Amino acid sequence: MEEFAKTLRAKQMWLSGGMLTIVAVAVVTRLVVRPAGRWADFIAGFQVGVALGVVGFMAFHVVRYSLARRDPVRLQRLQAAARDERTLLIHQSAGSTGVAVVVFAFAGATVVAGNFNATVFFTLMAATVFVGLVVVAFKVYYAHRY
C-alpha cells in the first residue's frame, strides 16, 4: 500500500508540473504570438479551451490522488481499480496507451499550428477528433465484449 501511495505522489508531482507548464505556455503564447487571419479568434479560443480542459483534467486527478493518499479506504479502492484485470484487458485491447500519446500529440500540434496556419490547424483538429472517436469506439466495443 505504501508503494502505491508513493506512486500516486509521483503522479501528483508530474501532473502539477504539467499544469504549471501548460498555464505558462498558454499565457506566453497569448501575450507573444497572435494568430492572424479570419479564424484568429476561433483558433485563440480553441487554444485557451484546450489548455483549460487539460489543466482541469490534471487538477481533478491531483485532487483525487491527494484525497486518496489521506484516506486509507480511498487509497485501497483506487489501488483495486488500478489493478482490475477487466479494465486492464479493455485498456490493452483498445491500445489505449499508444493512442493516448497520439491524441495528446495531435492536440498539442493543433495548438501550435494554430499560431502559424489555419489550414494545418483545422486538418490536425479533424485528425485529433477522428482518433479520439476511434478510441472511444474501441473502448465501448471492448467493454461490451469483455
Model confidence over 39-68: pLDDT tens digits? Answer: 888 888 888 898 899 899 999 999 999 999
Distance CA 49, CA 69 (A): 30
**What pLDDT band is residue 79 in, cutting at 50, 70 and 90?**
confident
Cell 497569448 belongs to: 30
pLDDT given at position 29: 79
pLDDT given at position 56: 94
Distance CA 17, CA 95 (A): 26
Residue 10 has pLDDT above 90, yes or no: yes
pLDDT tens by residue, 96-127: 777 888 888 898 888 888 888 889 999 999 99
**What pLDDT band is residue 94 in, cutting at 50, 70 and 90?**
low
DSSP-derived letter for residue 83 is T
pLDDT given at position 14: 93
Distance CA 46, CA 28 (A): 16
Q: Which one has a higher pLDDT value, 1 or 114?
A: 114
For the chain, domain boundaries: 1-83, 84-146
Q: Which three cell numbers stand for residue 53?
A: 480542459
Closest-CA residue to 111 (of 28, 39, 36, 51):
51
Residue 20 has pLDDT above 90, yes or no: yes
